[in-house]
């Protein structure tokens, strides 16, 4: 089986790629490799996709066949699995989720005992074992399975504990869109138990409606709800709960760049572990300028929260994220967590006694145009004519950036053009997209 890990684990259509047979072999291969690393138990969580129970059973069988014990967590946000793997130490975690994709896709993310996604070296070892036959361990050494019933409650209590004791949500009205995903129970409960009045939607998963015209990839729905209900904030999460986009009381959409700036602005200590912020190649140039004006260093990682996490570890810093809404607050949790990021941003604004727009007035974004082009072959990004055309555009731009890259999770080529004038960015982005479409 020639299966490769992408930027966020393994992901694809259930019908053709992430099948029960594939998951059986992944469980077996991952079990062999991670058992050699000293792990004896895997914790398996999932989102609300209809395929989740089927793939969970296949993974469970694969791990048991390799001699690894299994703890089933049920539906729980991705960062909840990361939290529990760290809490229980010598155990690793599996999340069955395709994040912000629709129900036709599913995927697998693997966390180590530190609550971070496994290294590329371990991914390569698993890929190598996947190419060999599945061989059961001796019957006497097969793994055992149990259900862990406290995962949701533990995650709720942990999230609540991240809010400073002097901060009160009692007078807040908050709209929460859980995208019919893994957060549908826990996140509304967290805000409600902190005292907020919660208006919730996207909390009726049926296996098929995850991320469908809702959640962090469609924040316009929460935007309308905030205005309609005169709420103080809107919180929009994605299907597995590791992304967040916020809405302020005026209905303004705050993306990951905005949230990173607010958190950096609110932090009074800008030395040591707080001396720098990590963004990605997609982070707006205006964010970089704004962060530096606050007195921080700013570095860019490759696109993908695992690369942000890796860069934070290398630098020894605490704060990083992506414009898509992956925000990593390493002082609180080891991976991107949409709910915790929302709690920290709202808490920071309450302590500052400022509205988001007051803080964001201190930096300006460059106009940025993003176009996603469905393709059959993502290797088109290496086409000589396309690369030459991009280089020509970069030569024409006095101020700006061009980024054309294959998606690590979908059959899409992503085009981003940033310029000092929006019409310029739009024209160049559309020109690149047109060329790619003509070749796809």
CA dist 203 → 151, 188, 190, 197 (Å): 18, 9, 14, 16
- Reported as type and span, the H/E element at residue 349 is helix 338-352
Place of tokens 């992304």: 243
What single-letter DSSP state applies at residue 279? Answer: E
CA distance 183 to 166: 26
- CB count in 10 Å sphere of residue 165: 6
- CB count in 10 Å sphere of residue 67: 19
Active site residues: 99
Q: How far is CA 318 from the centre of its chain?
A: 17
Please enumerate in sequence order all residues whose Cβ is within 8 A of that of 153, keeping only pairs 6 or more positions apart, or say none.
Answer: none
Pair of tokens at residue 269: 């200590």
CA distance 379 to 404: 11
Place of tokens 């259930």: 14
Beta strands in 47-179 (DSSP E): 69-75, 91-96, 105-111, 145-147, 173-177
Burial label for 173, CB within 10 Å (0-12, 13-18, 19+), is middle
Pair of tokens at residue 174: 């908050």
Give, to the nearest 10 degrees, the angle between helix 151-161 and helix 78-87: 90
CA distance 338 to 343: 9
- Give me the sign of the Cα torsion angle 251, 240, 324, 301: positive
CA distance 438 to 416: 18
Among candidates 215, 161, 207, which has minimal Cα distance to 183?
Answer: 215
CA distance 280 to 258: 14
Among candidates 73, 83, 88, which has minimal Cα distance to 116?
Answer: 83
CA distance 195 to 191: 7
Count of alpha carbons within 13 Å of 355, Cβ hemisphere only? 11
């Amino acid at each position: 089986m020639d299966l490769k890990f992408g930027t966020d684990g393994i992901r694809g259509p259930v019908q053709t790629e992430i099948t029960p047979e594939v998951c059986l072999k992944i469980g077996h291969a991952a079990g062999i490799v991670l058992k050699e690393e000293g792990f004896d138990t895997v914790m398996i969580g999932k989102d609300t996709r209809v395929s989740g129970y089927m793939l969970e059973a296949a993974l469970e069988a694969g791990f048991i066949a390799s001699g690894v014990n299994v703890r089933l967590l049920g539906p729980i946000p991705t960062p909840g699995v990361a939290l529990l793997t760290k809490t229980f130490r010598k155990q690793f975690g599996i999340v069955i989720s395709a994040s912000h994709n629709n129900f036709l896709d599913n995927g697998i993310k693997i966390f180590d005992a530190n609550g971070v996604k496994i290294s590329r070296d371990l991914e390569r070892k698993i890929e190598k074992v996947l190419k060999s036959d599945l061989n059961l361990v001796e019957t006497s050494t097969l793994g055992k399975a149990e259900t862990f019933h406290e995962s949701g409650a533990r995650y709720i209590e942990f999230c609540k504990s991240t809010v400073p004791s002097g901060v009160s949500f009692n007078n807040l009205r908050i709209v929460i869109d859980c995208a019919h995903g893994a957060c549908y129970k826990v996140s509304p409960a967290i805000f409600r138990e902190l005292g907020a009045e919660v208006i919730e939607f996207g909390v009726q998963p049926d296996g098929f409606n995850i991320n469908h015209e809702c959640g962090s990839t469609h924040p316009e729905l929460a935007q309308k709800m905030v205005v309609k209900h005169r709420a103080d904030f809107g919180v929009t999460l994605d299907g597995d709960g590791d992304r967040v986009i916020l809405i302020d009381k005026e209905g303004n959409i705050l993306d990951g760049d905005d949230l990173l700036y607010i958190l950096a602005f609110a932090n009074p200590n800008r030395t040591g572990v707080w001396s720098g912020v990590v963004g990605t190649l997609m982070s707006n140039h205006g964010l970089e300028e704004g962060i530096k004006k606050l007195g921080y260093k700013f570095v860019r990682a490759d696109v993908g929260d695992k690369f942000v996490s890796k860069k934070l570890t290398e630098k020894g810093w605490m704060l990083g994220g992506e414009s898509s809404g992956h925000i990593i607050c390493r002082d609180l949790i080891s991976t991107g967590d949409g709910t915790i990021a929302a709690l920290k941003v709202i808490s920071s604004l309450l302590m500052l006694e400022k509205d988001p727009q007051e803080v964001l007035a201190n930096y300006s974004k460059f106009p940025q145009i993003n176009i996603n082009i469905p393709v059959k072959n993502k290797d088109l990004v290496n086409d000589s004519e396309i690369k030459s055309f991009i280089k020509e555009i970069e030569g024409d731009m006095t101020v700006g950036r061009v980024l054309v890259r294959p998606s690590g999770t979908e059959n899409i080529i992503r085009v981003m053009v940033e310029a000092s004038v929006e019409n310029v960015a739009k024209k160049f982005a559309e020109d690149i997209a047109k060329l790619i479409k003509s070749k796809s």
